[in-house]
Amino acid sequence: MARADEVVIEIEDAVVSYREDVALRGVSLTVRRGEFVGIIGPNGAGKTTLLTLVNGLGRLLSGRVRVLGKPLAPRNAHHIRTRVGYVAQVQDIDPRMPITVREVVMIGRYGRLGPFHRPTQADRDVVERMIELVGMSPLADRPIGHLSGGEQQRTAIARALAQEPDIFLLDEPTAFLDWRAQREILDLVQEIHRRQRLTTLFVTHDLNALPRCDRVVLMKDGLIQGEGRAGAVLRNEVLSELYGTPITLIEHAGRQVVLS
């Protein structure tokens, strides 16, 4: 039986390098079941690389990673990936791509089904529930190349949730979306977390989204530079130092809002 305070992600001194680039230079992070952790930092800080480790795909030069109790190793990669749902930025999809929203969401079930197993009625029920949860039922038969960015992200979230994951990774899910769609996706992610207490790691450049997180991790130059609650992170000096450019916050309706 899973305990509420159980550690589900344990990263110790992780070093990851891509040829000559060192992407992570000794990163340590512990995440407990049910936490909603925001990850921010400038381009190239190593945020996506960190998610890759949690997704069972990264290659460590040194250090230690355990996800859901399993060490990061090729023999565990498939198991970890089936337990981790992942949503990236909106992708450019060819409008001629002959695959519907419902079929995309069913892809989320295949990791659980294993090879040569056809989806059962129970799998189809999970898919319909997730499509409904993200508000895509009216568009379930539409080809995914015919969706707006916001609808595409809803579909991607439904696909990830159809896996019934233990960990949910979101890598800039609101990038390239208009203001309304950004807000709707953030509300949806927060609502899913509230309802399911699903452990969530959320990489974002949207600093105004941080109050939704239990904890915010600050990354720069392949290192974790600090972490804290949104209130402690949303400060002019902390953000200006992190991004290497002046950032000004103002207080509006009782919360800190980023001006520049």
Query: By the criterion CB under 6 A, which residues form the site for ligand ATP?
Result: 18, 21, 23, 41, 43-49
Instruction: State whether residue 38 is helix, strand or coil.
Output: strand
The minimum distance between CB 57 and ligand ATP, in angstroms, equals: 11
Q: Of 219, 259, 222, 223, which is closest to residue 243 (Cα–Cα)?
A: 219
The minimum distance between CB 195 and ligand ATP, in angstroms, equals: 28
Residue 253 CA: distances (Å) to CA of 185, 197, 207, 208, 257: 22, 28, 16, 13, 9
Q: Which is nearer to ligand ATP, 162 or 200 (CB)?
A: 200
Distance CA 61, CA 18 (A): 10
Distance CA 186, CA 213 (A): 11
The minimum distance between CB 18 and ligand ATP, in angstroms, equals: 3
Q: Where are the beta strands (DSSP E) in the chain?
A: 7-18, 21-32, 36-40, 62-67, 70-71, 84-87, 167-171, 199-203, 215-220, 223-228, 249-252, 255-258
Q: Which is nearer to ligand ATP, 45 or 104 (CB)?
A: 45
Euclidean distance between the first and final Cα of the chain, in Å? Answer: 46
The minimum distance between CB 14 and ligand ATP, in angstroms, equals: 12
Instruction: Confirm if 159 and 105 have CB atoms less than 8 A apart.
Output: yes
The minimum distance between CB 11 and ligand ATP, in angstroms, equals: 14
Q: Which is nearer to ligand ATP, 165 or 222 (CB)?
A: 222
Q: Which is nearer to ligand ATP, 104 or 201 (CB)?
A: 201
Q: What DSSP character marks residue 129?
A: H
Cβ of 235: how many Cβ atoms within 10 Å? Answer: 14
Instruction: Confirm if 112 and 126 have CB atoms less than 8 A apart.
Output: no
Q: Which is nearer to ligand ATP, 135 or 226 (CB)?
A: 226
Q: Which is nearer to ligand ATP, 45 or 201 (CB)?
A: 45
Distance CA 182, CA 112 (A): 30
The minimum distance between CB 46 and ligand ATP, in angstroms, equals: 4
The minimum distance between CB 224 and ligand ATP, in angstroms, equals: 12
Q: Which is nearer to ligand ATP, 45 or 189 (CB)?
A: 45
